[in-house]
Amino acid sequence: MQKRGQVTIFIIIGIIILFSAAGLYLIKDQFFQNQTIQDTLIDTSSVKGFVESCLQKTLKDAVIHIGINGGYNKLPDQSSTNADLNAPYYLFHHESNIPSKEIVEIEISKYVEEFMPFCINNFETFTNEITFKEMKAQSKINNNNVATTLSFPIKIIKNQKETNLNSFKKQTPSSLNNALLASNEIINYSLVFQNSLCLDCLEDTSQNNNLKIRSLELNIEEFFYVMEDENDKDFIFRFATKYDSNTYEQEDELIDFSLLEGLTIE
């Protein structure tokens, strides 16, 4: 009986040891696995945060730049040339030349794609090995903001492990949509009124789109429009219109005021 009892004890101890060993083994694997994942997660979030902050900044810069350039990353051929700060012609010789919302979105994306690398700077601030491929931006102009989704494949390598980041999304508050709507309104009545600036229309447009709008007469053929958002001092949207002064319609029965030159009134 005593022997049987000792055997039993050994068996029990053996089982305990076995389970303990197994348990330790399991716990060990779990521990190291968790440690690896945690290391990886930390690196990813910092990289991701870095890219997103770059995207945020670049997007904001893009909206400001695009606004100043009248919806374009780079001024198109049909743009003013004589102003200190030129702008695209949205109206050129009686034809509307205003970019569509989609075009402006593409222009924003181009800017982001062009200037994001300067901010990313090859991830030089990171010690991990990070490789990346060409980025591709897709922007959307919403009512009160501009959002950009950046497709930017990034591979982060640490401890012989790889983590991939592919897509980033950011938005920035902006009146760009209102500015485009306002621009369309202005061009619409500019087409109606030819070489005249409709003052009350401009006022209505200003109200309708919550924008302060100034019109600048550069010369007899060119008008500049500058829109500002009082709530966003950084936002300015500019475009120009150009008419052909030689095609002004002659009004009927208009007095030829040149005849009055030299006339003296009592």
Partner 1 sequence: MKKTTLLIIVCTFLLPIIALAQEETPQPQQNQFIAEDPSTYDYSSPDFYNQVDYNNWDWNQISSNPQNVQTAITALQDQGILQGGASYDESKALGFYSDPGFATFLENLPESEFEKLDGAMLVDSGNANKLNQDQIAANIDEITDLKALEGKELNSYIQDEFATTLDVSQCQDKKCTLVDGVLKNDGKNSNQIILSELTGKNAIVNTQNDGTILINFNQFIEEDDKLMFFSENNRFNFIINTRTQGVNLNLKEKDIGLLQGNFLFEKGQLFVIPEINQKDKKDTVKYSQFAGIGAVIFTKTNIEVSNKPLTTSDGFSNKVYISKDQNSIQMSGSGYSFMSDEFMEHVPQLNTRNGHRLIFTPQANKKTNTPSIVSYNKKTRDLEVEGNAKIQNGNRHIKFQQGHILSELRSISGQNIITLSDQTFNQLPLNMKLKGKPGEVIMTGPDKGNKIITKNSAMYSLQYNVDVKGNRELAMETFTDIKHGVKSPDIMVIGTRTYGGNCKGIPTAGCRAEKDEIALWQRYEQIWLQNSKDRPTFIINFDKDVYSSSDRGNNHDFMDKLIEAKNKNPFENMGSTNYFENSKIYFSGHSSDMDDKILFKISQGKAARRNYYIDKNQLGGGVNLKNPFFAGCSSGPLVGKPALRIDDGEIDIFSAFLVSKAKKGTNTWDEFVKNQFSKDKITFPSRKTCLNSYSKLKLVDESYESLGTIKKLQATCT
Please give the residue ranges that form the binding site for partner 1 (CB under 8 A): 82, 143, 189, 192-193, 195-204, 206-221, 223-224, 228-231, 243, 245, 251-266
Closest separation in Å from C-beta 259 to partner 1:
5
Nearer to partner 1, 84 or 124 (CB): 84
Nearer to partner 1, 75 or 218 (CB): 218
Residue 255 is encoded by which pair of tokens?
């007095």
Taking the C-alpha atoms of residue 226 and residue 83, their distance in angstroms, rounded to an integer, is 13
Taking the C-alpha atoms of residue 222 and residue 244, their distance in angstroms, rounded to an integer, is 9
Closest separation in Å from C-beta 158 to partner 1:
42
Neighbours of 257 (CB within 10 A): 7
CB 239 within 8 A of CB 88: yes
Taking the C-alpha atoms of residue 191 and residue 227, their distance in angstroms, rounded to an integer, is 19
Beta-carbon contacts of residue 34 (< 8 Å; ≥ 6 apart): none
Nearer to partner 1, 89 or 152 (CB): 89
Closest separation in Å from C-beta 227 to partner 1:
9
Neighbours of 232 (CB within 10 A): 15
Closest separation in Å from C-beta 241 to partner 1:
10
Nearer to partner 1, 68 or 197 (CB): 197
Q: What is the DSSP letter of 254?
A: -
Nearer to partner 1, 165 or 181 (CB): 181
Closest separation in Å from C-beta 20 to partner 1:
53
